[in-house]
Structure 1
């Protein structure tokens, strides 16, 4: 039974997983333009409205970046990448969701010229109708995928 079934005429709750994955793509498109120096300072202020004040990012190396650090963290990286820098998001899917939050997973590919890196990320989003895509980033865990694809795999006994 859906919310619309329980309350005839009521709108079904938003698919928070789909909203979260749309936000992931939009955020990384911002990073490409921001890191290449193609956006003005106001773009960062707008982008930060998609993050919860309680946001925590755990980088692949284990370092933590909190919401209070985001402005400085992203400002320091502005214009740090060449024009051929690109990010693509693949394998995005919803791990879990309810009407207040969604947990999604995706693989982020970063490419600068011939160099490509990959990371598998899991992100928790909170519903927020006033956020740009209807959700706020709350928690992000990133893990580097080694060039041989071994991230998260147990070595074989061979």
Structure 2
């Protein structure tokens, strides 16, 4: 790993946590009307790709459309926690961040290991934008 920019990990970590707070507010029906969707669109970098836990590859438009159409689809019991966040490879303006995302949805728990690539962006809320995201099931949603 390159020494890179020591504050870049702080910015990317704040973005991971902040975006998942956005998801909870956007997905929970009782809070969805209070959320500005542009916060999400503004941090999804051009050329973004996502590999979902199922292995499906999504481009930026598909990710944005999926999140937009999932507005207000959860009850108050929906929760996301971010754990074991740590830096991976980085340069002066790019970083890979690894973390575990745990969701509670409809009383059922799931966990996924994620790795995300961020690049600096002066216009993004936390100074970074998402360029690539790869999620792998650690615990598939309980049935």
TM range (shorter): 0.7 to 0.9
For the aligned residue pairs, the C-alpha RMSD in angstroms reads 1.9
Residue 19 (structure 2) aligns with: 27
Indicate if the aligned counterparts of 1:122 and 1:142 stay in contact, CA closer than 8 A: yes
Alignment gaps of 5+ in structure 1: 1-12, 148-158
Q: TM-score under structure 1 normalisation?
A: 0.79
Residue 17 (structure 1) aligns with: 9
Match of 1:91 among 59, 67, 84: 84
Matches within 5 A, 1:1-158: 13=5, 15-37=7-29, 38-40=31-33, 43-112=36-105, 114-146=107-139
Indicate if the aligned counterparts of 2:50 and 2:59 stay in contact, CA closer than 8 A: yes
Residue 8 (structure 1) aligns with: none
How far, CA to CA, are the matches of 1:113 and 1:68 in structure 2? 27
**Cα deviations by residue, 1:81-105 (Å, 9 ceiling, x for unpaired):** 1111000000000012111101000
Indicate if the aligned counterparts of 1:44 and 1:71 stay in contact, CA closer than 8 A: no
Alignment gaps of 5+ in structure 2: none
How far, CA to CA, are the matches of 1:91 and 1:62 in structure 2? 22
Q: TM-score under structure 2 normalisation?
A: 0.87
Indicate if the aligned counterparts of 1:16 and 1:98 stay in contact, CA closer than 8 A: no
Of structures 1 and 2, the larger Rg is shown by 1
What SS does the aligned partner of 2:129 have? Answer: strand
Indicate if the aligned counterparts of 1:18 and 1:94 stay in contact, CA closer than 8 A: no
What SS does the aligned partner of 1:15 have? Answer: helix
How far, CA to CA, are the matches of 1:41 and 1:70 in structure 2? 21
Paired residue total: 136
